[in-house]
Amino acid sequence: DPAGLLGLPSRAERDTSADEQRRREQILAGAQERYYEHPMQIQRGWRHHLVDTTGRAYVDLVNNVAGLGHGHPGVADAVDRQIRILNTNSRFLYHELAEYSERLLALLPPDSPLDTVMLVNSGSEAVDLALRLVQAATGRKTVVALREAYHGWTTAGDAVTTSAYDNPYALDTRPEWVHVADVPNRFRGTYRGAAEDRSVGARYAADLGADLDRLARRGRPAAGFICESVLGNAGGVLLPEGYLADAYARVRAAGGLCIADEVQVGFGRTGSGFWGFERSAVIPDLIAIAKPMGNGFPIGGVITSRAVADALTSQGQFFSSTGGNPLSCRVGLAVLDAMEAEGTQRNAREIGRRLAAGFRALAERHGIIGPIHGEGLYLGVELVRDRDTLEPAAQEAAAICERLRELGVIVLTTSERSNVLKVKPPLCITAESADYAVAALDRVLTEGW
Ligand code: PMP
């Protein structure tokens, strides 16, 4: 903590009683504290650590936004410098937007035909814009989404969100224009099949093809297909081999466009490529991006081709959003510089392997640890009551998270009803902290919870 910011909390912060804290939570709808029986307030962060108002420090295993960690000096300097120069956008092109957009395009695989960037403020907005673009570009309405996905909270994002866990805002009726296809590797049961049978990906893609045919016969051919490159809400589950390539080919043959939701897994998190889709050797028609590109600063965007973007902007329409303002673009540039200089992607790969190996070693001694999903620093540790039936141990998972917090590790499940510990720390996490987290889990499982 070179900035010396992690000193003692103020008296007011320290003296916040549990009652006072509960009262504060009352004025917040859906506050995160619902995860813990004993409430806490996070006050500060430093790299991959968090500190609460009592001064206790934790290893942060839940941060899918700040890839570079909390309090990054390069990001702080970028904000400080830019806010003194220009912090709002206008109808003029400004230097930071042009520079940042070029840097984003340069991150794509060399054979990518994508050449256009549209910036917004968040992942939900990015998904919303991508959905609207595929509808405008194809002149069609229906979008195909996978079950067990989360794509954001806007009305359109919510419509393609089908996770039983994470969709508390779901409207009772899904709009006509969404078609939900079965997730190829529903993480309980089917996933085991996927691991054993390489042809499972193709089989599910064939099912998707049959869905697309049916939609066309009913006179509502698909405008597009949206899918995360690694299934986040299913617990960081990797798509079966060949699935994405096959699915994209079928969607395109039916005249639709493919959207990759890289809001969580873009920007090096999986370690195997800068983008989550790289492990499948495909290139989407649209890429929705957000969270890590701003390291916590609000920014999001869609990367696509001029032809697709023109569907919304060709008739002189001005694409207007406070997104992509000079301040967020400058932060985005600082994030990319720091990622390169610090080798965060390599760290994600190495520490990810270390964590996964640690969890696998624990599985040999603790029967409650079921399948371990994911790649890089995007892992899901499934807790089960029975390894054969994979009966989920959701209540146990909540209690284990609580005990882990007491030992100084913050890790959560997708929701109170989920049995998957989602491990997605800042990409700068060290080997020491990774080992500490695994040892803490070992201790909880040994001593009981
Ligand atoms: N897509 C995915 C895959 C996400 O995980 C999220 C957020 N968790 C979103 C979209 C929405 O992003 P935001 O919270 O920035 O609106």
CATH of residue 301's domain is 3.40.640.10
- Let me know if residue 5 belongs to a domain: no
- Let me know if residue 6 belongs to a domain: no
Tell me, yes or no, whether 267 and 318 share the same domain.
yes
* Predicted local confidence at residue 198, as pLDDT: 53
Tell me, yes or no, whether 172 and 192 share the same domain.
yes
Between strands 222-228 and 257-261, the pairing is: parallel
Tell me, yes or no, whether 313 and 357 share the same domain.
no
- Let me know if residue 3 belongs to a domain: no
The two structure tokens encoding residue 272? 């195997």
Q: How far apart are CA 44 and CA 55, in angstroms?
A: 9
Q: How far apart are CA 288 and CA 126, in angstroms?
A: 5
Tell me, yes or no, whether 336 and 413 share the same domain.
no
* Predicted local confidence at residue 297, as pLDDT: 92
* Predicted local confidence at residue 155, as pLDDT: 84
Edge-to-edge strand order for the sheet containing 42-46?
42-46, 49-52, 57-60, 409-410
Q: Which of 124, 154, 158, 277 to mutate to test the pocket of ligand 1 (most atoms within 8 A of CB)?
A: 124
* Predicted local confidence at residue 158, as pLDDT: 84
CATH of the domain at 50: 3.90.1150.10
pLDDT under 50: residue ranges of the chain: 1-6, 33, 166-168, 171, 185-196
* Predicted local confidence at residue 194, as pLDDT: 44
Q: Residue 35 has what DSSP assignment?
A: G
Tell me, yes or no, whether 82 and 27 share the same domain.
no
Tell me, yes or no, whether 305 and 416 share the same domain.
no
Tell me, yes or no, whether 137 and 209 share the same domain.
yes
Q: How far apart are CA 392 and CA 223, in angstroms?
A: 36
* Predicted local confidence at residue 101, as pLDDT: 96
Q: Which of 131, 151, 422, 424 to mutate to test the pocket of ligand 1 (most atoms within 8 A of CB)?
A: 151
The last residue of a domain, from among 342, 375, 404? 342
The two structure tokens encoding residue 301? 């965007």
Count of domains for the chain = 2
Could you report the per-residue pLDDT of 108-130, keeping only the tens digit for each? Answer: 999 999 999 999 999 999 999 99
* Predicted local confidence at residue 240, as pLDDT: 82
The two structure tokens encoding residue 188? 């309980």
Q: How far apart are CA 421 and CA 436, in angstroms?
A: 16
Residue 127 Cβ contacting ligand 1 at under 6 Å: yes
Ligand 1: centre distance to CA 50 (Å)? 22
Contact 136, 312 (CB under 8 A): yes
* Predicted local confidence at residue 197, as pLDDT: 52
- Which residue's CA is the nearest one to ligand 1's atom 7? 152
Q: Which of 155, 228, 263, 267 to mutate to test the pocket of ligand 1 (most atoms within 8 A of CB)?
A: 263
Tell me, yes or no, whether 57 and 77 share the same domain.
no
Contact 338, 75 (CB under 8 A): yes
